Amino acid sequence: MIGVKEDAGFLMIAGTMKRREHMTLYDELVARGLIAQVTDEEEIKEMINNGKAVFYIGFDPTADSLHVGHFMALCLMKRLQDAGNKPIALIGGGTGYIGDPSGRTDMRSMMTKETIEHNCECFKKQMSRFIDFSEGKALMVNNADWLLDLNYVEFIRDVGACFSVNNMLRAECYKQRMEKGLSFLEFNYMIMQSYDFLALYERYGCNMQFGGDDQWSNMLGGTNLIRRKLGKDAYAMTITLLMNSEGKKMGKTQKGAVWLDPNKTTPFEFYQYWRNVADADVLKCLRMLTFLPIEQIDEMDQWEGSQLNRAKEILAYELTNLVHGEEEAKKAEEAARALFAGGGSSENMPTATLTDDQFVNGSIDILGVMVAAGMASSRSEARRAVEQGGVSVKGEKVTDIKASYTKDMIGAEEFIVKKGKKSFKKIVVE
């Protein structure tokens, strides 16, 4: 991954020094399209440009892995830390018991204490790839440390009195939930998140909160609470949500979320997700998610046709490198080129192994191959894919649903099955 460091107005890139003309950190965040809303632009500019921000971003442990939806927040934390600011990664071990209603039409499932604690540990490990948590550089804290020991009556008297129900009900995070029924449990989420900001301000001098644009109401709740309880100013800034050109959140596939855990989404699958983004989205993703110089990305604005495919390769490599490391990024790149460009090593292609019991009378048909390889959930689904002309073996389209293959045929040379443009497997036999 190309590293980025600020030093006396210069940008350090791969060992070379390049002048960034009159561009502050805040200017760069704007140029990359990262900033959605701010409470006090001039104060926030001054703080982050001069390394004075002690800021936090919250992560509720709703799964045992971070996903692409968290990716931009992690990258933002890294950008600000590289400029001298101090990040606090707040793990929602306490708020995880409630669940954030923002952007939801249904109530989140309740998690056990053990599940929440396990998920928190997984988050810590993944975040350390992005954030330097060495002494004095950053903090990782868990809001369970202060939320789980609260006395309810005391809390409601002390903090609940600072919130207007009328104002809360006008917040976007509650509106869509009101139609289907908002539980009192979820109604407490804004107060909990606001209290987090107050607790972090008092304990660690945290003066700023960042988050997704759907968190704006919750974040304002925090700045207002600090003002009412302490008479101090605190600030909030929301990050532009990562949406594609069709207005849908990025980071989802037919299989579900694109995870940062390699056991849930392999490095190759992660690479391919970014390699296959739409032409209209690739430059936006390069700006918002990579650490490539903004000047370099601006030059790509003129790219078209096959050049956009090159831009997608750059995007996929940079992000895979950041999440999984250089070695895995190179493997994924080589596997993709071997499959789609006819060059490179096939060693790192996704592989499916057929066992003896999957062969009938010494052979297996194409439908059986696809099901065994996980390329279709059933023979009927595999049949439809073949009949629609979307399946090929070793580069040749398969038109016969009864096409069969022996062990020798599969083992003689690379036996690569493709379904559509994006799904493929190298088939081997035991």
- Per-residue model confidence as pLDDT tens digits over 251-262: 766 567 889 999
Q: What are the tens digits of pLDDT across the range 62-121?
A: 888 999 888 889 999 999 999 999 999 999 888 777 654 444 444 445 677 788 888 888
Distances (CA, A) of 67 to 33, 255, 283, 301: 21, 13, 21, 28
Which pLDDT score, from 0 to 100, does residue 253 have? 65
User: Average pLDDT of the chain?
Assistant: 84
Could you tell me which CATH class the domain 33-241 is placed in?
A: alpha beta
Query: Quick one: average pLDDT of 264-280?
Result: 90
- The candidate with the shortest Cα–Cα distance to 369, out of 419, 421, 295, is 419
Q: Do domains 33-241 and 256-340 have the same CATH topology?
A: no
Which pLDDT score, from 0 to 100, does residue 201 have? 97
In 3-state terms, the chain is what percent helix, strand and coil (to 5)? 45, 20, 35
Identity of the residue numbered 364? I
Q: Which residue has the tokens 């008479």?
A: 231
Which pLDDT score, from 0 to 100, does residue 2 have? 34
Cα–Cα distance for residue pair 393/414, rounded to 1 Å: 10
Whether the CA torsion 159, 165, 166, 171 is positive or negative: it is: positive
CATH architecture under which domain 256-340 falls: Orthogonal Bundle (1.10)
Task: Return the number of other C-beta atoms located less than 10 Å from residue 266's C-beta.
Answer: 17
Which pLDDT score, from 0 to 100, does residue 109 have? 54
Stronger pLDDT, 60 or 57, i.e. the higher one: 57
Distances (CA, A) of 94 to 60, 147, 163, 256: 9, 6, 20, 26
Q: What are the tens digits of pLDDT across the range 139-151?
A: 999 998 999 889 9
Q: Does the pLDDT at position 175 exceed 80?
A: no
Q: Side by side, which strands form the sheet with 5-7?
A: 5-7, 10-13, 16-19
Task: Return the number of other C-beta atoms located less than 10 Å from residue 109's C-beta.
Answer: 8
Cα–Cα distance for residue pair 306/344, rounded to 1 Å: 19
- The candidate with the shortest Cα–Cα distance to 332, out of 352, 347, 310, is 347
- pLDDT level of residue 311 (50, 70, 90 thresholds): very high
**What is the maximum alpha-carbon separation in the chain?**
81
Domain borders along the chain are 33-241, 256-340, 351-429
Q: To which CATH superfamily is domain 351-429 assigned?
A: RNA-binding S4 domain (3.10.290.10)
Distances (CA, A) of 138 to 52, 65, 73, 128, 416: 13, 21, 15, 10, 46
Whether the CA torsion 225, 78, 39, 33 is positive or negative: it is: negative
